[in-house]
Structures are given as C-alpha cells and as structure tokens.
A and B are shown apart, each in its own frame.
Chain A
C-alpha cells in the first residue's frame, strides 16, 4: 500500500503533546495512512486522533536532540508535539507533510472509513431534487424539472436536474447557458409561497465589451415575472468590478436588454480576498500578547466582520425585495458559485422557516451549496494557516456559517439547531471521515461513486444520539420572516470558531448545561402535572356516577 512508503517512522515513544487548556500528555505517537494518533496507553487520559487531512501546516523546531512539531489544523487548533530524537522528528514531520497534502481524492479517508454505526437512513437518498420539486409542484405549476444537463455537458457545475420556467424549452436553456459564465444559466433557487415571488441564481452574462445579448436568456428570466411586474437583479459585485469583467468576456445585464429588471450592485469580496481576510483574522485571534489597540485594529484590518456584514446585508436585501417589494430576484456574481450562493442561501434562512430546522438546513446546504456546485474541495483545500500562495482556497462557506450564526444570535429561539451544529459543519467541510464535501460538483461526485463507496455526513448526523448535541433547547417554530440587524453594533466575532482554542469554555459550557436543565426540568414538570391532572379527572369521572344515584 502506498501510504507505507510515506511513513518512515510509524511510531515514536515518549512524545509529549501540548494542547491549549488541557494537561500535557506523554505517550506513543503513531502515524497511519490517515491519522496521527497519540496515546498514553492509560485508561483515563484522552487520546489524540487527528486526521492528516485536518492538518493545514506544520513547523519544526529543534533544541538539542529534542524536536518539536507545531501542528496547525484546519479547524484552527494549534497543537505541539515534543519528539525525542532528531531523526524521528524529521521523519514524522515529512510524513505528516506528505500525508496531509495528498492530491488524489480517492486516497482520502472517506474511501477507507467504515462506519461503526448502522446506517439507518442513507444520507445520499435524503435530499434528491425530485423530492424538492414535488414540494414546489404542490404550490405552483409554472416550473418544470429539466434534464437538459443530465450528462453534465451543458453546465459541468450544475446537477443533472434543474428547475426552470415551464415555458422555456431545453433548446433555449442551452442557448442561455452559452451566454452565461460556466454555462450557469438562470435556475430557480427559491419559491416564496407567501406571494409566489421567486429567487433565481446564475453566473454573470457573457456580454463582453461589445455588449452581446442573448434573446433566450432574456426570455428565460422574463418568464419568471408576472405580467406588469418588475424584478431585481442583484449583482454581488460592485459596478466597477462588474465593468472590469467585461474585458474578460463577462459583464452584466444591460438595462436596454432587460427593461423589466432593475439591477443592484453590492460589494461582496471575491474569494481570494476572503482567504486573506481569514488568515489575518486568525492571526490576530492567536496573538495573545497584543494590547487592546492592536487587537481592535487588527480585527478591523482583517475585514472579516465587514465581509460578514456585506454578505448579510445583500442577503437581507434579496429577501426584502421578495417579501416586502413583492418582486422576483435574480442573484449572480461572476461564476455564480460563491457569493451568489451565500446570498441565495441566507435569504432563504431569513424568509423560510423550514430552513431553520435541522433537516431543512441540511436540505438547504445540499440544494444551494452541494448541488449548486460550490467547489468545496478547492475552497477548503487549505485553511487559515496555509503557507503557500492561495490557489483557489477561500472561506466562502465558513462566512456563510458565520452569517447564520449571527442570525441565530439575534433569533435564539427560531432555530432548531444550535451553534455546535454550525461548528460541526465547518469542521467537516475541511476534514472528515464522510465524503459529503468531497469534490467540486455533482458531476465529480457521481464520477467518484461517492454514494456507493463512502458514507454521507447526513447518515451520521441524523442519528438521534448524534442529533441531541445539535438541538437548540430554546427552539420554538417561528413562522415569520426574520429580519436581522446588520449594524456593526449588532454583529459579533464568532468566538465559537475563532477563539475556540484560545479560551476555556468551562463557564460557557456550564451556562449551556444550565439552560438545558432549566428547560428540561420545565418539560418534566409539565408532564408530571398533566399526568396527575388526567389521573384526577379520571378519579372524578369514576366517582361522579355515585354522585347521581
């Protein structure tokens, strides 16, 4: 097996592990094909199992013959391993480097992982487009499911089934696809039941410098408007950026050709800028020494919170157009696989109460991210500690989760899931035993035969014993549209992710436990009282015949 070649020293004794806020552990370090394991071989000390895929970068240091490896993980944790023996240390380091940067997807852990639990509900079968379309059909008959992309030839990043206006035939779709970046022609993202308005998403139109147009594209999006109504095109880029895109063959919808549409430009940063923002943010969070001034100015300079605000604001705007203006919306940026999806998915969380349940949120991720072709594998190849020049890494999905967390903070009773659920998703996008976030598109996943060879994250998460951790004790279904505040005063740094390893959570965990306890005790009492009342009522009816002889 090829892993063995990469592992020069499979085990070293007397290794000391340092982790923040935990006692040091001395034990044996083992390297396997997918894990770094440290075990003290004592029953009461926790072992460390770290997926190589979770390792973002490492640093080596030597003092005499004692080597130290600093392991920086994609979940932002930093651990330190003291390894006796220079040669052992060098071997371990080079093995980790090699194993954590394997190029081939089929060598990833999900292909080797065998679940220790029985898969009761197969996550691969949970969220199929046909099911979502059935729901849509029950509300409107103006849409159809097109198979134009069934072999992924029209648009390689789209799924095989797409929801499009009923009156637009597949031929027109193909033409519209040729007019959109990456073939991503406008498709349905969300149908607002309350007023029948829709949100669509696409990639930028390929107008170029000479203002190309495409009748089919115009017809396609006009088909979604009610008679006499206008719609909004939300371009996630600034007008300047959109103008520049023309030189590279891209562009935006010209008013003249889309008279029924009003274009709004917002300023969500491109993915490479977001990656830089993440690196700076994490750097300032980890710098324990600095003063208050430096902390605030570094936080500001990282621009992370500004990105959160901008994305959230754009999503709110889309939701507002749909719900308040009663207008349909088309969202796109450049490729339509990043900022577009942030906006369409967040808008749905604001508008649609079902997206705030666990199942609904999973379905949303499945629809708006996985099937919509967000390139997870590229975006999550490296995290905040990557040394090299970023290629296409970017915390696009993490920013989405951060925005969800902000809304959750503002509506703590309206979500069925809690913060842990979001953190868990963040972890699994970067490294996982499950394959849900492998690949960059449905086409790639089909080719990799993921559903046959690997286990879906949802198969694991949705088991009652796992789900329990992710349930929000305060949840009460709230059928309203929820409008978050996007003022800087209202947005907070997501400590659960960015300061997670820099703080002891003892007091916060305690508070959470207490909250759970308060609510559980209340429910328990409720049940007791109800059952006693029933008993009383029963006794009374038993007694009553005697009363009236």
Chain B
C-alpha cells in the first residue's frame, strides 16, 4: 500500500480507443492489486478492473485541452486511455502505477494475496489436478526402454530441470552426469515425448559445450543410447532450432552444436528460428500495427509484413512439422535443442506433440502439455513475461508464439481441436496475470523454494470448471483420434493475423455475430432437448402403461421453436456504425458532415443526437457481454478481485 500515492481520483475520463467521441466519466481507484475505474451515472455505468501485474507500461502524454492523458498498455494487449484533469493527480497515478506494475519481489504478486473462498485442502487438491506421472504413463512410460532417473531429485545436476526425468534404461548415472557437464546449464538430453506405436521419441536438451573441437564421450554415449532406445531406427535426428550463423557464433564462446563426425549415426539439422530478442522486437512491431487507429489497408499489411511475426510463426510451425514427421513417418528419434533449451526447444517440442498426438488437442491434454514442456522443463516464465521488475532484455513472447501456432492449426483443422480460441486467449491472459501460481518463477526448483503450491492456487481446475466456455462445438473426437498426425500447410497465405488475441479488447473489430457462440448455444440447447426428450419418453411410457391420471405435464420452456442462437448477438454493436467518414475532409473524427458550418441549424443538432444515442446504446449493450471482455464486469476469474 505504501506505493499508492493517490488512492482515488474523481472526474477521470476513460476514452474509447475506437472512437474518441465515446468517453466515460468516472472515478479512478488504485488498490494494492488493481486499477479500478467506475463510471458514474446510470447511463454509462461501468466498471473496469485491471490487475497491476497485467500492466506492461504506463505513459504520460502531452497535456491536452481536456486534461492530462495517461496511457496504460497491458500484457494482454488491452490499452486504456484516461484523461485526468489535474496534473498532480495524473503524476501521482503515474508514479504509483509505475511502481505497482513493477513488483520487486515475488511476494508482491497477486497470486500470493488472491484468496478465493476455498479451504486449504481444496487448494492443495487444485495442485493435484494435473499429474505428469500419469501423463508419462499415458504415453506408455516407464517401460523396458525408458525409466525415470532419480539423479535430479534434489535439482543438483540441473537446477532448471524437473526432479523426475526419463532417460534410456541403458544409460548409467556417470553418463548422465558427464553429459550434463557437457551441456549448457547442465540440461542433458532427456525425454519429452514418446510415441507408443513405434517407440520413436522426441528428446530435448541444451546446446553442447563443443566449442571448435571439444567432445565428450558420455554425451556421445547418451545420444547413442537414445538412438538405440528406438529399436526400429538406425539413426536419429539432432535438430538445432537456431539459425546456423547463431549456432556457429556460439562456438567461439565454447558452446555450439554437435559434430556429426563425433556422434554415431546422427543426422544434424538446423532449423533457423530466431532468438528471443528478435521475437520481442517482432511482437512489439506487431502490437504497434494492431493498435493503429484506422490504418489504411496498405499501412496494416506493410506493418504486418515488417513485423515479421508471421514469418517467425511459420518457422516454428515448420520445425514442429519436421519433427512430427520424423517421429510418425520415419519412426526416428529426434533430439531438439537451441541454446539453453527452454525457449525455442519448448516451442518446437510442444508444436510437434500437438501435431502428433490428438490428446494434446483436448482441453486436458493442452494443460498437461503446457505443464510438461513449459512449466516443468523450466521455461523462464518470470523473465519472459516480465512478472518482476528486471532485465527488459529477458522478456520475450515465446509462449505467445506457441499459442499462435495452435491457433493457426485450429484455423486449418476446425474439427480436430476440443478447445476453442477462447481457451487459448484465457491461458494467455493467465500466463501474464500472476493471478494463479502456475506461471510464477523460472523453474520447478524456484517454485518449490517459494512454496508456490502452499501459498497460491492452480489455474487448471479453474479452467476445467469453466470448460463449457472453452469447448469447440465442431470437435469430432473419433475423427481426431483416427487422424493421428496433422499435416498443416505452410504456404505463406496459410498464416494469418490473430485478431482475436491482438485486438482482443477492440470489440468493434470483431465479427458482430459469432459463429462459435451460435453453435455453442445450439449445442447447449440440443443437450437440453435430449434431456427433455428422455423425460417425455419416460412420461409417455408411464402414461401408456398405467394411464396414470395424476401425471401432470410440466410445461417446457422450449415448447415452441425459438432460435436461441439469435439471442447472444451483440446487437448494440451491430447497430452502431463506425467512423466511415475517415478520410473525408481532413478526417474529422465526428460524423458531423456539416461540421464546417458550425452555426447551421437542425442538421447539426441531429448529428449530435445521433452521436449521443449511439453512445448510450453502446454502453447499455455491454450488459450482455461475455465475461471475457473486461469492460463492465471483468468477472472474478479474469482481472477482478476476489469478491467472496
């Protein structure tokens, strides 16, 4: 609380970014965990809750006539503009928020104060929702080829790896230790995915410390053992996901890549995914493009191209495809690494797994996959997401790219995923929100040291409870099971801009009627009908049998055909035109076509009336919004506080 210089500011204006004429006046509150804006007046009554941990940066803009603008950019791509009338108030809010949004210690994060109305047992239970041991046994492990090594139980061999790791049966402890010493950060080759059908595996590690000529017998034995663990193949792939130039540069630092001459029967392959810094810059450019206000088509497309974002997504996808094909079609083991083996390696292994295994295309499966390939294998969430105030150079949208790849796949294979894009967006939000403990810290060891399981809650059961919202109505489970390997196309035009994520809060940019919502409503209704049908049949049977006189038919809600799916339409928005006038005469933001003649009579009045009318319809329409949108009611699971 000591960071809050100004707990409350009145008469603050919230500017709608899509149209500067939509302004809400209200009060701004700063709490220990949230920025809250409460609109006043019954017409534009609204509440906006934003977690401090979601705030990416706060910017003061030049004073305008109406006051002092404060721009807040969030990690979930929400952008808010407040106008505060007093300069001192604005400055105080700015200073407070700048500090609040950059916590210095883990303990300051929201997940440590988030206290839903559940008891201790229930909280502990929430952490048992996912069980990686069960996941490995689903894959068919341990078996006679692979077993768990106890070597990292205390995180002594590799402090960024999980405690339980699968290695080939034949590998001895000295080999593991030797290999780990020859790998960056001790991240020795270990199993990520095992294909029951043909024994092929995806293994992961960090780069070898080969320099220009160093070699390590144990590491070579390790790879040999991995290759031999797959009885069907005579060689294995070693995939270095970095551009060749980067990998070669690393040699000068005593790191590098495997020399094919030293390792028996490996086929070495570079993939060329750029590093975290390139990706950070790329996303920054993408966000700038997505936030352009009424850009021309050319500006948008050129901006998209210049960001290079889709090129990077394509390269990650192609790496995943290469690996999934090696495993499924060639039946060959693949060892994947990059530099440290926690960014590109995590992306590529998990994309390949989704392509290979229909299980990861289910809700539970995706949770497990993220828990396994990302959380347990030490993807540095705290650094990459910038949870704490720290090195800006460590921040990078590595997991965003994984989610983006998934979305691209869902676009190409609409029937093969059990979850819908809302699920991905929700996960994205919670990775950054620090609302739950799952994505705090940089490794399993750190989480253990910080007693995350004892002090915070897990996101997964919460998402599971809301799974109805995240179901893809078009999912065909049987088909998906048979489908096995997904073979996405990778022509450039197959990769698209993910509007729902990057323009998540720009409601006016999305389709006014959602096919997804319609189908979900129909499916729900269908389920109700199935129950009704069973009930009717039962009653009829009873009536037929006994001709019972006492039975009273229950009047059903669904007696007459009524198209429920037409109900959730966002009609308020559908009925609100945008600024189509855009380029007309100096681009006046208001639709005041007679604007250059301010004194003219009724035409002007009617303009204003129409402006007011559609403003009010805009705000009242928000009542019917899904909780995903954080304007109005952010819903406790998103950005809202615990109201229990």
Interface residues of A (CB under 8 A from B): 228, 230, 232, 262, 264-267, 285, 288, 290-297, 299-300, 303, 305-306, 308-309, 313-314, 316-317, 319-321, 323-326, 409-414, 474, 476, 478, 480-493, 495, 499, 502-504, 507-508, 510-511, 514-515, 518-519, 521-523, 525-526, 528-530, 532-533, 535-537, 539-540, 543-544, 546-547
Contacts and interface: CB of A to CB of B under 8 A. Distances in A.
A411 B526 contact: no
Contacts of A321: 593
B310 interface: yes
B522 interface: yes
B503 interface: yes
B642 interface: no
A488 B571 contact: no
B529 interface: yes
Contacts of A293: 305, 308, 311
A252 to B, nearest CB: 15
B522 A519 contact: yes
B519 A518 contact: yes
Given A290-B492, A525-B529, A532 B537 contact: yes
Contacts of B530: 525
21 contacts: A288-B491, A292-B305, A292-B492, A296-B304, A305-B301, A313-B580, A325-B593, A325-B606, A325-B610, A413-B565, A483-B512, A504-B489, A507-B413, A507-B414, A518-B519, A523-B561, A526-B561, A529-B533, A529-B536, A532-B537, A540-B553
A319 B576 CA distance: 12
Contacts of B571: 480
A323 B614 CA distance: 12
Contact of A317 (B302, B543, B580): B580
Given A316-B577, A535-B540, A536-B540, A525 B556 contact: no
Interface string B548-571: 010111001011110101100101
Contacts, number: 242
Contacts of A489: 290, 300, 497, 499, 503, 506, 509
A521 B569 CA distance: 22
Interface in B469-517: 473-474, 476, 479, 489, 491-497, 499, 503, 506, 508-515
Contact of B581 (A303, A309, A317): A317
Given A292-B308, A525-B529, A529-B558, 15 more contacts: A264-B593, A291-B311, A292-B495, A295-B492, A313-B580, A316-B578, A317-B581, A409-B511, A410-B511, A413-B569, A481-B575, A483-B574, A487-B508, A525-B530, A536-B539
B131 interface: no
B492 A529 contact: no
Given A306-B297, A309-B297, A529 B556 contact: yes
Interface in B335-358: none
A482 to B, nearest CB: 6
B62 interface: no
Contacts of B310: 292, 296
Contacts of A507: 412-416
B569 to A, nearest CB: 7
Contacts of B559: 530, 533
A43 B515 CA distance: 39
A522 B565 CA distance: 12
Given A292-B311, A488-B295, A536-B539, A499 B581 contact: no
Given A488-B296, A529-B533, A503 B577 contact: no
B610 A485 contact: no
A357 to B, nearest CB: 15
Given A294-B492, A488-B296, A518-B473, A537 B553 contact: yes
A267 to B, nearest CB: 7
Interface in B291-345: 294-302, 304-305, 308, 310-311, 314
Contacts of B509: 485, 487, 489-490
B462 interface: no
